[in-house]
Structure 1
Amino acid sequence: MSFFLKRRGFIAGGISLLAHAVARADPAPVFRFDAIGGGAQIDLSRWRGHPVLVVNTASHCSFRAQLGDLQQFHEAWGPRGLRVLAVPSDDFGKEFDTAAETKAYCETVWGMTVPMSEPVVLLGEAAHPFYRWLRETRGFVPNWNFNKVLLDGAGQVVTTWGAPVKPGSEEMKRIIAPLLTA
């Protein structure tokens, strides 16, 4: 067999192995969040086929202006296929005492229509299953409010960003744009 044919077979075999590995990738678990103020649960599996941006928020945080950025990003990119979820948490001591206060503040001050969960725990063994999964599979643990997690259309983590990266920043747009379905 010539060198070219041997090399071609090796490359084809490598591609076959890669395709097999991708086909065997474990599906992302199904995560549900209780919607703030009651109502239907937010089931991330219903958003499969779309990129999803999950942001842990806090109303009293110095980064709270990102609530407005998050709303604007949702309005601009939602029609293009991006799904956004705001996940309030008081793990860093910067959220209202009740979900009702959080909801009222976000709607009144920031005009938020972004889907929002009830406040959840992000850290430790009491963490919401989504955040436990991030810790166990990616080693990602939010170290402050307004950490962002981008999931692809299959529910797998694409990347994460810390608090300083604003929703709708050029960095985010560059990574999210190729994932959009519309």
Structure 2
Amino acid sequence: MWLRALVLPIFLTGLALPSWAAECPVLLQGELPRLRSKDSIDLCQQFSGKPLVVVNTASFCGFTPQFKGLEALYQRYREQGLEVLGVPSDDFKQESDDGEEIAKVCYVNYGVTFSMSETQRITGPQAIPLFKELTAQSQAPRWNFSKYVVDRQGQVIASFSSRTQPDDLALIAAVEQAIASVP
């Protein structure tokens, strides 16, 4: 809706659309507050045209050690353009409400260098637009550490459950397919 409010007056005045409005996939329209920062993650600016893995995370989950594997996946494929976005969520009641504590788990305990947002709602009517679109293109996360592989056009090409480890061959194949996709 906010996009229409911005684009309609531009259309009516005959001016060209901003390039991001015409080129940014629906999935990547918006911003998220960056974990432990005053900055935001502009999803379109940072991820448009790049292969992406989106994962909902939680600090107090049995799957939290997957941070190590997600970081290894990111390091393995980042030179080929892969991005990883971690989105902490307390939707399954296993995340801290303290951003500093979440940051410690991610950055200190597991050495995460990929992008992490502040805690967000990822399920139900209050889900952020990113997860509403991920759900529309695949399925809603059923637990922490659900993984979505997105191609360079902003389309979900595969989703994986929490039980799928970051080094799983099917996940690796989906990541390689996303890397091979044409922007």
Interval containing the TM-score (normalised by the shorter chain):
0.7 to 0.9
The corresponding residue for 2:8 is none
Structure 1 residue 97: deviation in Å? 2.1
The corresponding residue for 2:10 is none
Structure 1 residue 95: deviation in Å? 0.9
TM-score for both structures, normalised by structure 2: 0.78
Task: List structure 1 runs of 4+ shifted beyond 6 angstroms.
Answer: none
The corresponding residue for 2:25 is 28
What CA distance in whole angstroms lies between the structure 1 residues aligned with 2:138 and 2:77? Answer: 28
Range that drifts further, 42-51 or 61-70 = 42-51
Within 5 Å, give how 1:1-182 maps onto structure 2.
28-29=25-26, 30-46=29-45, 47-135=47-135, 137-138=136-137, 140-180=139-179
What CA distance in whole angstroms lies between the structure 1 residues aligned with 2:175 and 2:60? Answer: 28
TM-score for both structures, normalised by structure 1: 0.79
Partner letter of residue 123 of structure 1?
A: T
SS in structure 2 of the partner of residue 180 of structure 1 = helix
CA distance 1:180–1:134, change in 2 (3 Å): closer
Structure 1 residue 27: deviation in Å? 6.3
SS in structure 1 of the partner of residue 159 of structure 2 = strand
Structure 1 residue 179: deviation in Å? 2.7
What CA distance in whole angstroms lies between the structure 2 residues aligned with 1:44 and 1:168? Answer: 25
What CA distance in whole angstroms lies between the structure 2 residues aligned with 1:54 and 1:31? Answer: 15
CA distance 1:50–1:98, change in 2 (3 Å): same
Residue pair 1:146, 1:163 contacting (<8 A) in 2 also: yes
Question: Is there any run of 5+ residues in structure 1 with no aligned partner, and where?
Answer: 1-25
Partner letter of residue 108 of structure 1?
A: V
Paired residues in the alignment total: 156
What CA distance in whole angstroms lies between the structure 2 residues aligned with 1:134 and 1:69? Answer: 22
Partner letter of residue 71 of structure 1?
A: E
SS in structure 1 of the partner of residue 116 of structure 2 = coil
Residue pair 2:35, 2:99 contacting (<8 A) in 1 also: yes
What CA distance in whole angstroms lies between the structure 1 residues aligned with 2:177 and 2:149? Answer: 13
The corresponding residue for 1:4 is none
Identical columns (%):
31
Structure 1 residue 130: deviation in Å? 1.0
What CA distance in whole angstroms lies between the structure 1 residues aligned with 2:68 and 2:33? Answer: 22
CA distance 1:110–1:151, change in 2 (3 Å): same
Partner letter of residue 86 of structure 2?
A: A
CA distance 1:150–1:139, change in 2 (3 Å): closer
